[in-house]
Homo-oligomer: A and B are copies of this chain.
Amino acid sequence: MDLTIAELVESVGGRLISGDAGKLITSFAALGDATSDQVSFFAGEKFGDALAGTSAGLVVVSEDLLGLVPADLPSAIAAVGDAAVIFDKIVGEYGQKPPAFVPGIANGAHVDTTVEIDPGVSSVLPGAVVLAGAKVGRGTRISSGAVVGERVQIGEDCEIGPNVTLCEGCILGDRVIIHGGTVIGADGFGYEFEAGRHRKVEQLGIVRIEDDVEIGASTTVDRARFGETIIGEGTKIDNQVQIGHNVVIGKHCIIVAQTGISGSAKLGNYVTLAARVGVAGHIEIADQTTVGGKSGVIASIKEPGGTYFGYPAKPMKDTLRARKNLKQLGSLIKRVKELEKKLEALDEDK
């Protein structure tokens, strides 16, 4: 960004309280990470310790928190209305921006002649491929290297990332974001064992992704055996998540990285699965359930709103109690030995 403190403070309508107005600020960072040429912000009492330890060149501080700023900070201090809002503005202005949306079908993109797309309002970047019968909504961008399969339907204002694969027939709603390398609609994993060989069970369904879903990088969502694998409205899925065929995920769920959900499992709404969770096939997880990291859910969770943990996943308090008990095992072994000795002594005494 390369602005003096004076220029930066002026540009956000702030008021310089202390520090060298002519010092150069080149970027921005959180209080704990910021160096002497970076701007940071202080917008809540709970960040007092971070503020006290910061090396930032400049800290923008919410007006009503000025009283909490230590006198001996190395940082210049500027007062602003709401420091969080102002900092977001700085980040938005000087941070990495996503590539500008340029409508049109770029040179080096391949769009089949049967594709339903208006190049005046949609964007296909170089190296992207859109195959026969697909439909691309207005405001949607297909990034380089992405492959949109036959008869795929994509809604409006979607962002299909680089090297993404959308297989034939899949359906995406509006404002769907899919990050690089993700594969939607590959065949589910289904075989019948016959005469010593695994015979493939054809996978003839699709994946349906509802509005406002975001899916991270290198995630895989398999097409249904028949019917639909469904990702519900507003659900957010992280990187390297695996979702099997015929899974149904409800609305506004959070599925963190490296989680795997086996075929035909059903998640309700507002379910949160932390990182590296495994969910067995054909089970159900009730609304608003939270499952802790690295857990394995192998039976249906029917009561909504609970917090589960462990493998097999149990209510959090049960797993924590079990872990607490486990910590006593070493001393328990000693106590039993002690008891055995005493009892033997008693026995001899008789």
Interface residues of A in 208-251 (CB under 8 A from B): 212, 214, 216-220, 222-223, 226-227, 234, 236, 238-240, 242, 244
Asked if residues B280 and A278 are in contact (CB atoms below 8 Å), the reply is: no
List 18 extra interface pairs beyond A145-B165, A189-B238, A332-B336, CB under 8 A. Answer: A27-B227, A96-B168, A99-B149, A99-B150, A108-B110, A127-B129, A144-B147, A183-B239, A186-B216, A217-B220, A218-B240, A258-B260, A276-B278, A276-B296, A294-B311, A322-B329, A326-B329, A349-B350
Asked if residues A223 and B326 are in contact (CB atoms below 8 Å), the reply is: no
**Total copies of the chain:** 3
Nearest chain B CB to A307 CB, angstrom units: 16
Nearest chain B CB to A33 CB, angstrom units: 6
A161-B186, A186-B179, A198-B252 known; A333 vs B330 contact (CB < 8 Å): no
Please pick, from B112, B126, B260, the residue contacting A257 in the complex, using a CB distance under 8 A. B260
Q: Please report the C-alpha to C-alpha distance between residue A347 and residue B226 in the assembled complex, in whole angstroms.
A: 68
Asked if residues A189 and B216 are in contact (CB atoms below 8 Å), the reply is: yes
Asked if residues B129 and A144 are in contact (CB atoms below 8 Å), the reply is: yes
Q: Please report the C-alpha to C-alpha distance between residue A165 and residue B28 in the assembled complex, in whole angstroms.
A: 26
Interface residues of A in 148-203 (CB under 8 A from B): 149-151, 161-165, 167-169, 177, 179-183, 186-187, 189, 191, 196-198, 200, 202
Q: Please report the C-alpha to C-alpha distance between residue A135 and residue B149 in the assembled complex, in whole angstroms.
A: 25
A220-B240, A240-B220 known; A33 vs B191 contact (CB < 8 Å): no
Please pick, from B146, B167, B226, the residue contacting A91 in the complex, using a CB distance under 8 A. B226
Q: Is A339 an interface residue (CB 8 A)?
A: yes
A236-B198, A275-B262 known; A165 vs B169 contact (CB < 8 Å): no
A332-B332, A339-B343 known; A202 vs B92 contact (CB < 8 Å): yes
Asked if residues A127 and B110 are in contact (CB atoms below 8 Å), the reply is: yes
Most central of A99, A146, A242 by chain B CB within 10 Å: A242
Q: Is A256 an interface residue (CB 8 A)?
A: yes
Residue of B nearest to A30 (CB): B227
A99-B149, A147-B163, A198-B252 known; A322 vs B326 contact (CB < 8 Å): yes
Interface residues of A in 61-92 (CB under 8 A from B): 91-92
Q: Is A22 an interface residue (CB 8 A)?
A: no
Please pick, from B161, B167, B198, B202, the residue contacting A180 in the complex, using a CB distance under 8 A. B167
Q: Please report the C-alpha to C-alpha distance between residue A33 and residue B234 in the assembled complex, in whole angstroms.
A: 22
Asked if residues B96 and A204 are in contact (CB atoms below 8 Å), the reply is: yes
Q: Is A104 an interface residue (CB 8 A)?
A: no
Q: Is A285 an interface residue (CB 8 A)?
A: no
Return chain B residues, CB-CB under 8 Å to A244: 257
Q: Please report the C-alpha to C-alpha distance between residue A316 and residue B104 in the assembled complex, in whole angstroms.
A: 58
Asked if residues B293 and A294 are in contact (CB atoms below 8 Å), the reply is: no
- Write 20 A-B pairs (CB below 8 A) sorted by A numbering: A27-B227, A95-B202, A99-B150, A127-B128, A165-B180, A177-B200, A180-B186, A181-B218, A186-B216, A189-B238, A198-B252, A200-B214, A216-B220, A258-B278, A275-B278, A276-B296, A293-B296, A328-B333, A332-B336, A336-B339
